[in-house]
Amino acid sequence: MFLAILRRDLLLSIRGGGGMFQSLIFFALAILTFSLALGPDLALLAKVAAPILWAAAMLSTLLSLDRIFQADAEDGSLDIDWQATDLPVLLVAAKAVSHWLTTGLPLIAATPVLALLLNLPAEGLVPLLLSLACGTPALSLIGTFAAAVTLPLRRANILMSVLTAPLFTPVLIFGVSAAESGGHDGSRFLSSILFLSAFSLLSMVSLPFASVWAIKSNLD
Amino acid sequence: MTSVVPPAPSRSNSIYQMANPERFDRLAQGVIPWIGGIAALLAVTGLYLGLFVSPEDYQQGATVRIMYVHVPAAWMALFCYTTMTISSVAGFVWKHPLADVAAKVTAPIGATFTLLALITGSLWGKPMWGTWWAWDARLTSVLVLFFMYLGYIALWQAIDDKARAARLGAIVCVAGFVNIPIIKFSVDWWNSLHQPASVIRADGPSMPGSMLTPLLVMGLAYSALYVWLLLIAMRGEIADRRLERLTKDEPGNAKVSGLRKL
């Protein structure tokens, strides 16, 4: 069940219309916007590159949330899957994992190129990638939860952002902290990464269940 | 939660008695003026003590008196969210119909207290720190709290079915409650990296009784105000649901039976 849904969602996002590329394009556009707004000052860009990349990653995650359940709910496959499964939490987990694979992972893959555009110092790249790798799973899980809560609502983007923003806050803070401190402040880097991972793991064990409750309330 | 839980007549003092909205309504109607009076009396006493009797701070001068409206508002901001969470859990677990109502109507009140805390804090910050706003850990976490209130309110407004809105709201509320300490911790951390925490000392100088008394009186006044507003808002919400029920019913004698339901 888990793998079947995962496989289906991955195929859908790669072959059908490319939800995957939408969030990548948005990610690149957000970074372009920031750079244009800040001006061509390379020294300034190098300083703010990591925070900009993190903020852009958060924004493009936010933008992609409505496709987690929306299409499935519209064509009825969510109802069918929901009745077919004994363990609804696995269904939700599959949704979250496929969201991460189609949003978080491409963002991480694109980061080296975009970091180059933002003049990120070379030694800052690995810490940035690590922080994104540890933090984006939490973003996907939080997003899945918010998507589950707002399941029956159309155009719930604003509501979704208000619901997710408080939960995203710690991820953003520790993500940026880890990315900025990597390379020159080992202990701060380590503690930020550890906290980020702890938050992701906590989300992993709690939010899928909360999402199941939310979907159950919504499908009744 | 529109179904009425049958009251348990044998347990005359159980909380299930309050599950009957009409009984709650009658009781609230009697209590509301008293609580309003207590709130007004406490507020007048507290303000008099705070504005005229209490001494000026040797450093802050008269601006220290902003504290008497600011600090209780911040207390209530947290207290209301806690109340909301407890009511949400009670509504979720025991399906107590009034718990959902309490959680729902607490949100705007709590958001107002939070906004009040932010505004009075900002007014206090200008003469003290020379700036309206600092990205201090406390200010930031209160701001995030404000957005959590807004999210909860927006969720209730977006969902038409009240029972469903109550359940989803409860889930969101509890998730937010778990998140509050994490946010507090993370912004503490974030702030301590970017600027030294010199603007607010976490443990201020121990307060003399002449200042503590008005502060506590004001705290009680705010609490009474909250209870007063809560009861009024709950009555309003109950009446609202009853009205909705009535207008949804078929015309004719169904209207009469609709009156008996919540």
CB-CB neighbors (< 8 A) of B178 in chain A: 206
Backbone angles phi, psi at A18, to 5 degrees: 65, 65
The pTM assigned to this predicted structure is 0.81
Structure-derived torsion over alpha carbons of residues B114, B120, B124, B127, reported in degrees to the nearest 10: 130
Mean pLDDT, rounded, for B80-109: 90
Residue at B81: amino acid letter = Y
Phi-psi region of B33 (alpha: psi -120 to 50; beta: other; left: phi over 0): alpha
* pLDDT band with cut points at 50, 70 and 90 for residue B17: low
> Percentage of chain B surpassing pLDDT 90?
25
* pLDDT band with cut points at 50, 70 and 90 for residue B251: low
* Option in A156, A207, A210 nearest B158 (CB): A156
**Average pLDDT over chain B, rounded to an integer:** 79
What's the pLDDT tens digit per position in A193-216? 998 999 999 999 999 999 999 988
pLDDT for residue B9 is more than 80: no
Q: Return contacts of A29-36, CB within 8 angstroms, 24+ apart.
A: A30/A55, A30/A56, A30/A59, A30/A60, A31/A56, A31/A114, A31/A117, A31/A118, A35/A117, A35/A118
Structure-derived torsion over alpha carbons of residues A115, B144, A63, A202, reported in degrees to the nearest 10: 80
**Average pLDDT over chain A, rounded to an integer:** 86
What's the pLDDT tens digit per position in B230-244? 999 999 998 888 888
pLDDT for residue A120 is more than 80: yes
* pLDDT band with cut points at 50, 70 and 90 for residue A18: low
The predicted pLDDT at position A123 comes to 84
Q: Does B162 touch chain A (CB under 8 A)?
A: no
pLDDT for residue B257 is more than 60: no
The predicted pLDDT at position A124 comes to 85
Q: Which residue has the higher pLDDT, A130 or B54?
A: A130
Q: Which residue has the higher pLDDT, A193 or A6?
A: A193
Q: How far is B162 from chain A (nearest CA, A)?
A: 11
Q: Which range, A9-18, B30-39, B108-117, has the best average confidence (pLDDT)?
A: B108-117
The predicted pLDDT at position A53 comes to 92
> Percentage of chain A surpassing pLDDT 70?
97
Rounded Cα gap, residues A194 and A48, in angstroms: 23
pLDDT for residue B104 is more than 70: yes
* pLDDT band with cut points at 50, 70 and 90 for residue B116: very high
* Option in B145, B164, B175 nearest A210 (CB): B175
* pLDDT band with cut points at 50, 70 and 90 for residue A111: very high
Q: Which range, A1-5, A33-37, B206-210, has the best average confidence (pLDDT)?
A: A33-37
Rounded Cα gap, residues B9 and B110, in angstroms: 34
Instruction: Of A148, A56, A53, give the one whose Cα is nearest residue A99.
Output: A148
Chain B interface test: which of A149, A184, A194, A211 (most B C-beta within 10 Å): A149
Instruction: Of A17, A34, A98, give the one whose Cα is nearest residue A65.
Output: A98
- Six-digit token pair at A196? 């980020």
Q: Which range, A96-110, B1-15, B134-148, has the best average confidence (pLDDT)?
A: A96-110
* pLDDT band with cut points at 50, 70 and 90 for residue B164: confident
* Option in B148, B167, B189 nearest A173 (CB): B189
Mean pLDDT, rounded, for A123-129: 89
The predicted pLDDT at position B210 comes to 75
pLDDT for residue A181 is more than 90: no
The predicted pLDDT at position B50 comes to 82
Instruction: Of A203, A212, A215, give the one whose Cα is nearest residue A139.
Output: A203
Chain B interface test: which of A217, A218, A219, A220 (most B C-beta within 10 Å): A217
Residue at B80: amino acid letter = C
The predicted pLDDT at position A204 comes to 92
Mean pLDDT, rounded, for A171-176: 90
* pLDDT band with cut points at 50, 70 and 90 for residue B255: very low
Rounded Cα gap, residues B242 and B226, in angstroms: 24
pLDDT for residue B119 is more than 70: yes
pLDDT for residue B153 is more than 80: yes
CB-CB neighbors (< 8 A) of B174 in chain A: 210
* pLDDT band with cut points at 50, 70 and 90 for residue B222: very high
Mean pLDDT, rounded, for B241-254: 68
Chain A interface test: which of B95, B179, B194 (most A C-beta within 10 Å): B179
The predicted pLDDT at position A71 comes to 79
- Complex-level ipTM beyond the 0.90 threshold: no
Q: Are A171 and A138 in contact (CB under 8 A)?
A: yes
CB-CB neighbors (< 8 A) of B187 in chain A: 169, 173
* pLDDT band with cut points at 50, 70 and 90 for residue B19: low
Report the chain A residue with the minimal C-alpha distance to residue B170: A214
Q: Does B89 touch chain A (CB under 8 A)?
A: no
DSSP assignment of A119-186 equals T--GGGHHHHHHHHHHHHHHHHHHHHHHHHHTTT-SS-HHHHHHHHHHHHHHHHHHHHHHHHHTTT-H
The predicted pLDDT at position A17 comes to 60
What's the pLDDT tens digit per position in B175-207? 889 888 888 777 777 766 544 444 445 555 456
Q: How far is A203 from chain B (nearest CA, A)?
A: 10
Rounded Cα gap, residues B79 and B222, in angstroms: 11
Mean pLDDT, rounded, for A177-188: 81
Rounded Cα gap, residues B259 and B243, in angstroms: 9
Phi-psi region of A137 (alpha: psi -120 to 50; beta: other; left: phi over 0): alpha
Q: Which residue has the higher pLDDT, B231 or B252?
A: B231
Q: Which residues pair with B57 in a beta bridge?
A: B61
- Six-digit token pair at B228? 């007063």
Q: How far is A162 from chain B (nearest CA, A)?
A: 5
Which residues contact residue A136 at a Cβ distance below 8 angstroms, ignoring those fewer than 6 apart? A57, A61, A100, A103, A104, A107, A108
Look at A163 and B150 and tell me if their CB atoms are within 8 Å: no
